[in-house]
Structure 1
């Protein structure tokens, strides 16, 4: 079954990580022949080519420049006329709005960010006028919002495919990483890996850190700010850490080539979102690595984290996050107990063989018999 996946974004985040993982793990569902149509020739395009996946470049597109939309639509129409696909998938509502009316094949929307505002954004209104045959959702939370866009369209949750750890890091490797970023063997390392979007909870995180009674800790924020508002948010978090007198223990590591190594070297994964997280790939990566996870008890993370492998704190309750961190920092045995259940939880939700074959089964049900 030939599947074309379309992504119009020019940033690198969870959706791009998912596309790369689907390419890496596609051998687990050999009935799927995955190809990709992208609007930008960036990092994800390079990664997909490195996996020997066909990448079709459409055209850089900006909604504020209508001629770029026309160019990208012409390129997609030419591709679909030239090549035969069984299914076409649009990632994100704005991609659906741009291209959802073009394919004559069964066309699906893979919904990653649900429409949560009381009033639909104009890109969501545009997408709502182009009804897909089916909606794939990354969580039950996301699925609950589908009727706002498509009241009569069927949908299904397919949790994101996340690869188990491929690299085996030696204790010496991890110790060197800890030393590089201001942590010795006795220091509790708390890590958050995410985009610099305000709803990711960085400010909540530093407020909780300032309330810790424990002193032997450092926190690593991993990820590069990619847009002006992200730079502004990151600067605000830096400033707040300085105001709280914890700047010497809060490290901003920026983009890192091996994020999983950093997670493996850390002791606790903490991301206390201030707004809903539709799913959360990094929570799964932390569980695979055997790290206890702290998250806000809302949206996608509430479907991921259980008492066996972590803690769900009330949203925006920084004191609760601080109490949990203090407990775990001072109780390595409890951390290890929680960590032991992490990999099984990650496998249960995001095992590549299960998720890819679930996807393949759903796609096959939409393809007319030949």
Structure 2
């Protein structure tokens, strides 16, 4: 279908959650870009949450629709029944929405929504799939199954060269035509300067999901290993768990108590606005155990004018390239984190003066305005494609 002007276009956006973590914020920026281009946007979510109000403020319509979100737990044999039921229910819901809304194009946010590209193809609608995944360690067979929905996409966007490289291991031809668009990362309204000297307690912050994969427990273990000849180090943990991972929250709290760190570690839960907490910190830590396709949180730390301590892997390395106030450590190693904290403290007089320059460079490189324009351009391209 072809429209004569952008103002007549109607886009449908499918997204797997309604919270305000990294991929949710990226999708929100995508929607803002579409709305700013003059399009009408309807966002389909599987449940309500804080993201809904933000989307409506951005000018989008929101529909809560039963949607199959492909989690690893559904691939276990005992959950195959739920997978079949979810597939049938999701296809029916997608068919109903697409038949009634008749959008000009469908934007699928992540491959964890495998049914929307299928449904778009069945309705002869143009489809763009935006990949935020990068499972380097998975077998080629698993990668092919995970990325199969992109075979039906007219345009594929990936959030990093690393993500494209992982996609190439599954489907080389798709990876060769995929478009790399770095995430747009919004910063605080104003930046509070970092401390120039660390004469008292050092303050760290972790922002993100609480899960073994993300590794907040590694920072706790690192704190316990620090020597007594540096200022006492405190940690704020901002975030909560996925449903079903409550055991990890309990385990983390028990470990903090067992190590006698209750006075130095605060569990703050989810906060839609992270900036006051980041502003109160000297450094932000991104301790991911495994590959990350990108590093939104690491970029947030840089554009907030803070030192970033980051796992030396995959998209995290790419997101902090050319940033000399991002100190990297070996993944899944609490001792390496402890050594990096000590290194940051000992080099603070050298690092602090560089923060503003790195902040300016990162804010330009990962500008939300640049991101919105690129997404709007790709949506126009997929709508106009024959």
Q: TM-score range by the shorter chain?
A: 0.7 to 0.9
Checking the alignment, whether the CA contact within 8 Å between 2:128 and 2:379 is kept in structure 1 is: no
Distance in 2 between the 1:24 and 1:164 partners? 16
Distance in 2 between the 1:45 and 1:81 partners? 23
Distance in 2 between the 1:55 and 1:329 partners? 46
1:42 aligns with 2:49: yes
1:208 aligns with 2:222: yes
User: RMSD over aligned Cα, in angstroms?
Assistant: 3.1
Checking the alignment, whether the CA contact within 8 Å between 1:328 and 1:334 is kept in structure 2 is: no
Distance in 2 between the 1:99 and 1:332 partners? 49
1:284 aligns with 2:303: no
- Of 160, 169, 172, the residue aligned with 1:151 is 172
Checking the alignment, whether the CA contact within 8 Å between 1:136 and 1:156 is kept in structure 2 is: yes
1:56 aligns with 2:63: yes
User: How many residues of Structure 1 are paired with residues of Structure 2 in the alignment?
Assistant: 356
1:94 aligns with 2:112: yes
SS in 1 for 2:285: strand
Give the alignment's TM-score, normalised by structure 2: 0.81
What is the Cα deviation at residue 112 of structure 1? 1.1
What is the Cα deviation at residue 90 of structure 1? 1.2
- Of 259, 271, 274, the residue aligned with 2:289 is 274
User: CA, structure 1 residues 195+211, in 2 after alignment: closer, same or farther (shift >3 Å)?
Assistant: same
Distance in 2 between the 1:11 and 1:361 partners? 26
Task: Name stretches of at least 5 consecutive residues in structure 1 with no aligned partner.
Answer: 176-183
Deviation larger for 139-148 or 312-321: 312-321
Distance in 2 between the 1:85 and 1:54 partners? 13
What is the Cα deviation at residue 285 of structure 1? 1.5
What is the Cα deviation at residue 241 of structure 1? 3.0
- Of 182, 186, 190, the residue aligned with 1:163 is 186
User: CA, structure 1 residues 345+161, in 2 after alignment: closer, same or farther (shift >3 Å)?
Assistant: same
Distance in 2 between the 1:298 and 1:250 partners? 26
Paired residues for 1:248-263 under 5 Å: 248-263=263-278
Counterpart position of 2:3: none
What is the Cα deviation at residue 5 of structure 1? 1.4
- Of 203, 211, 236, the residue aligned with 1:197 is 211
Distance in 2 between the 1:123 and 1:70 partners? 23
SS in 1 for 2:173: coil
User: CA, structure 1 residues 354+272, in 2 after alignment: closer, same or farther (shift >3 Å)?
Assistant: same
